[in-house]
Amino acid sequence: MNCSKKLKGSELLELIAWGRAELLRAGIEEAQEECERILMKLCGCSRSRIYLEEHELDASGTRERFLALLEKRVQRIPLAYLLKEADFWQETLYVDERCLIPRPETEILVEVVIREIGKAPPPGPLPGGEGKKRTPLLGERLGEGENVFSFLDIGTGSGAIAIAILRAFKNAYGTMLDISGEALEVAFENLKRYKLEERAVLVQGNIFNGSGEVFPHPGPLPEGEGKNRKPLPGGEGGVRGLDKWDLIVSNPPYLSEEDWKEVQEELRFEPKGALDGGKDGLDFYRKIISGAKDRLTCGGMIALEVGQGQTEQVSKWLQTAGYDNIQRFKDLLGIERVVIARKGTG
């Protein structure tokens, strides 16, 4: 193949065939699809256009860039990090080594939240006495009027879960919590990508600490330009969401020590703190469940992604903590992946 400023479809097909063979030798099963995705990114075209030989693609330097990315992928660096993007739900998110790559399993959590959260609207006015009426959390999809709905996303990472919820519910307001300031920088980039930064607060800190506070009051935006974050509706001039939420959602780290020993090579390039759930993989569930109930509004919902084989224990803890209407949801393989529960209204 001769390198040229424009590569025709037939030449791109040769690149794909060669790259596929290299990735298969490296043990990467989805070799064909990954080669196509690399070329789609480099050429700025759809998959079908790659295969149209009658078209020439503006792809100066495509061959060299393709080979460079392929060399890194053979080293098992995740493709999402190489392309700086990951598809999740209905979004394409910016990702890099500062955050966990969103997983298809987490889309089940988002789907459950969007479908289930409107079944039991929390009663009464919002905190602060401003008198705005609550809407069923899904119900009318919060598209009109002054009804508002707040949620806390624990361990937000790239912001994938929060952004999916914010885009689904126009009057939703989110608090996005992560211990990693670097991950929050990525989340902020994604908020800006979808013009959602006015409806979210990014907070760096731990889950419900022992001092009685949830976490420190938010400071300047991650860009460091010194601007204060815009307060959410409710509260006395403060940020609504630092007290109670209608929804607490999380995909916490849930790999056990034994799990970590056997993970795919790609996972070792991702932040270990976003994956390591302690000796039994359940450390973060203990913390979240013990602290979340006092931070939910009456009738509010907690929704958790769980690892394989963890739903039984997580459900027991929720029951012991006094939650109602505990439900489990399976993925397409029949593996239980999501547990939700409600705080009672009594």
State residue 301's pLDDT score. Answer: 92
**Sequence letter at residue 312:** E
Nearest C-alpha neighbor of 89 from the set 72, 71, 61, 108: 108
For 170-206, the pLDDT digits (tens) are 888 999 999 899 999 999 999 999 999 889 999 888 7
Tokens of 341: 């529960």
The DSSP string of 87-99 is EETTEEE---TTS
Average pLDDT over residues 225-249: 52
Position with higher pLDDT, 142 vs 60: 60
Residue 170: what pLDDT? Answer: 84
Q: What is the pLDDT of residues 253-297, one digit of tens each?
A: 999 888 998 889 999 999 999 998 999 999 999 999 988 988 998
Beta bridge partners of 178: 204
What band does 117 get if pLDDT is binned at 50, 70 and 90?
low
- Amino acid 218: pLDDT: 41
Paired tokens of 211: 């001092």
Residue 8 clears pLDDT 80, i.e. is over it: no
Domains of the chain in start order, with CATH, are: 6-75 (no CATH), 97-342 (3.40.50.150)
pTM given for the model: 0.82
Q: Is residue 87 pLDDT above 70, yes or no? A: yes
Tokens of 294: 């006092």
- Return all residues near 11 (Cβ < 8 A) that are at least 6 apart: 1, 4, 63
Q: What b/e string do you get for 175-187 counting C-beta neighbours within 10 Å, with b at 16 or more?
A: bbbbebeebbbbb
Residue 63 has pLDDT above 90, yes or no: no
37-46, 260-269, 278-287, 301-310: which has the minimum mean pLDDT?
A: 37-46
- Asked which of 185-194, 221-230, 312-321 is least confident by mean pLDDT, the reply is 221-230
- Which letter does DSSP use for residue 101 in this model? P
* C-alpha to C-alpha distance for 26 and 32, rounded to whole angstroms: 13
Can you tell me the distance from the alpha carbon of 233 to that of 212, in angstroms, rounded to the nearest whole number? 23
User: Which pair of tokens denotes residue 80?
Assistant: 């999402």
